[in-house]
């Protein structure tokens, strides 16, 4: 809003004096334009790997008045469904992206008007935005005749560079004593090149004869790998199902992890005492997975390099916290809720925290710090009866542990006596840039000692 300015201004004169200036002649002043406050609600980046989001539902409909901090829309990111709040007071004038559709991060998904009077302006703006996206200006026809009475524009003359030579051409001209002013240039805009000077001096270069191509190999080698961008034709009779947002994120992460040089180490251990401890504490909500997480966390504190991570390919960092992510299979995707500071919590607090995370994961309500802060990952398919498997290393972590099922096995002790014990096989996939075989072997030895004598887990 423009401020009022008095026609009489105080004009400084000699020190200590002031006088009133006579009213100046009226001048035309620019009127202050008060623009309507129409704000855009953008698609937020809910995680570091999110490139687009899907609108699950709008909690605020068109015409609803909302206040700063109110949730207006539920967005499905690559990991969870999250409420998105508005940063301003106003009226939801237009929803640009309806429920069920996707939009890239940073794209406007709705318009927020400050008052009722500006709702119509917001709708007009939304219509202009939709027309701008659907219509592209067509180029003028090449054979269109010029408008009568309007002369065609004069051709733009190329800059004259006669007599201008490249530095190397000047050097060659000096060596062969050629007057560069008399050389006709063939370079851009008549610039004299070294080849022009050599031609004026009568220097001819012998053409290099290319060597003959090598003979084709006798045996036909394997077919070259198919480029990543190639799209295979669909299988006849099959049904094409597009990835969900979570599946697309898992696909990207798995492809990214293939660029990391990894290696795998397996280790078997006896779980009789761990199974006995589980029978004692399962009534209190402690699962076998929680016991394994605690055992891994204690072992990681003794082998911090296995808890380290390399993110830029040039250095690695020792992580101060032991945050263990646990792979969880969900309908249409995979998540790794993170048990932060797992080494500092007892098994009962870990179990309580794990139940909360598991519930939020299944409801797709995890916050970003609850799934992207892991420093080590554990995947337990042993609960499904899987004996052994290899896990793919998550991007940004140093190692992931794949836990198989405990099986009754005939085992010989150091005295040669045979007995039947429960044995479990663990495979660890590690980043070979920061973790070496001896590091991983020492970590697995410590982990096995804890599993085979788990009384320390209850302390």
Neighbours of 287 (CB within 10 A): 19
Task: Find the mean pLDDT for residues 77-96.
Answer: 82
pLDDT above 80: residue 172: no
Q: Which pLDDT score, from 0 to 100, does residue 280 have?
A: 94
Burial environment of residue 97 by CB neighbours within 10 A (0 to 12, 13 to 18, 19 or more): buried
Contact 95, 84 (CB under 8 A): no
CA separation for the pair 72, 75 (Å, rounded): 10
How does the average pLDDT of the chain come out, rounded? 79
Nearest to 382 by CA among 403, 351, 359: 403
Question: What is the spatial order of strands in the sheet that 81-85 belongs to?
Answer: 81-85, 71-76, 52-58, 102-104
Contacts of 267 (CB under 8 A, 6+ apart): 425, 426, 427, 428, 441, 444, 445, 447, 448
pLDDT digits (tens, 9 = 90+) for 208-251: 455 556 555 555 444 455 454 456 777 787 888 888 777 777 88
Highest averaged pLDDT of the listed ranges 43-47, 86-90, 130-134, 192-196 = 86-90
Task: Output the pLDDT for position 148.
Answer: 45
Choose, from 88, 176, 189, 432, the residue flagged as catalytic.
432
Alpha-carbon distance of 407 to 270, in angstroms, equals 9
Q: Look up 432 and say whether it is catalytic.
A: yes
- Identify the sign of the CA torsion 120, 122, 128, 133: negative
CA atoms of 393 and 401, how far apart (whole Å): 9
For the chain, domains (ranges, CATH) are: 38-128 (2.40.50.100), 167-201 (4.10.320), 259-457 (3.30.559.10)
DSSP 8-class letter at 229:
T
The pLDDT assigned to 36 comes to 55
392 or 118: which carries more pLDDT confidence? 392
For a pLDDT cut of 90, what percent of the chain falls above it?
Answer: 35
CB atoms within 10 A of CB 201: 15
> What is the C-alpha to C-alpha distance for residues 61 and 71, in angstroms, rounded to an integer?
11
pLDDT in tens, 397-439: 999 999 999 999 998 888 889 999 999 999 999 999 999 999 9
Confidence of residue 32 (pLDDT cuts 50, 70, 90): very low
Rounded CA-CA distance 206/188 in Å is 25
Task: Please tell me whether the overall predicted TM-score, pTM, comes out greater than 0.85 for this model.
Answer: no
Q: Where are the alpha helices (DSSP H) in 310-459?
A: 347-362, 437-452
pLDDT of 41 over the 80 cut: yes
Q: How confident is the model at residue 283 (pLDDT cuts 50, 70, 90)?
A: very high
Look up tokens 């070496």; give the residue. 436
């Amino acid at each position: 809003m423009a401020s009022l300015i008095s026609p009489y201004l105080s004009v400084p004169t000699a020190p200590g004096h002031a006088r009133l200036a006579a009213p100046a002649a009226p001048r035309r002043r620019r009127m202050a334009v008060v623009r309507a406050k129409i704000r855009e609600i953008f698609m937020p980046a809910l995680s570091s790997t999110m490139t687009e989001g899907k609108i699950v539902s709008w909690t605020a409909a068109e015409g609803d008045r909302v206040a700063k901090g109110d949730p207006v829309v539920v967005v499905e990111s690559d990991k969870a469904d999250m409420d998105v709040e508005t940063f301003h007071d106003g009226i939801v004038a237009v929803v640009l992206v309806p429920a069920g559709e996707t939009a890239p991060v940073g794209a406007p998904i709705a318009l927020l008007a400050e008052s009722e009077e500006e709702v119509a302006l917001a709708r007009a703006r939304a219509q202009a935005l939709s027309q701008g996206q659907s219509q592209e200006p067509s180029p003028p026809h090449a054979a269109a005749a010029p408008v009568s009475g309007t002369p065609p524009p004069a051709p733009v003359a190329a800059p004259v560079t006669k007599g201008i030579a490249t530095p190397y051409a000047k050097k060659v001209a000096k060596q062969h004593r050629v007057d560069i002013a008399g050389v006709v240039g063939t370079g851009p805009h008549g610039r004299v090149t070294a080849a022009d000077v050599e031609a004026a001096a009568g220097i001819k270069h012998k053409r290099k004869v290319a060597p003959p191509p090598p003979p084709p190999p006798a045996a036909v080698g394997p077919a070259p790998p198919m480029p990543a961008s190639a799209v295979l034709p669909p299988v006849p009779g099959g049904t094409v199902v597009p990835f969900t947002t979570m599946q697309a994120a898992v696909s990207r992460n798995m492809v990214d992890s293939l660029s990391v040089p990894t290696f795998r180490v397996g280790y078997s251990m006896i779980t009789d005492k761990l199974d006995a401890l589980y029978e004692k504490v399962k009534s209190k909500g402690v699962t076998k997975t929680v016991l394994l997480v605690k055992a891994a966390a204690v072992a990681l504190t003794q082998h911090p390099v296995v808890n380290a991570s390399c993110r830029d390919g040039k250095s690695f960092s020792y992580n101060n916290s032991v945050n263990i992510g646990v792979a969880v299979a969900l309908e249409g995707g995979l998540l790794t809720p993170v048990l932060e500071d797992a080494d500092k919590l007892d098994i009962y607090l870990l179990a309580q925290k794990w139940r909360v995370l598991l519930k939020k994961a299944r409801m797709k309500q995890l916050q970003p710090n609850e799934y992207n802060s892991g420093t080590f990952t554990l995947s337990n398919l042993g609960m499904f009866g899987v004996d052994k498997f290899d896990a793919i290393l998550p991007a940004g972590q140093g190692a992931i542990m794949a836990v198989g099922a405990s099986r009754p096995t005939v085992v010989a002790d150091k005295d040669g006596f045979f007995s039947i014990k429960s044995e479990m096989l663990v495979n660890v996939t590690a980043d070979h840039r920061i973790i070496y075989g001896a590091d991983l072997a020492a970590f697995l030895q410590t982990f096995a000692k804890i599993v085979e004598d788990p009384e320390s887990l209850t302390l």
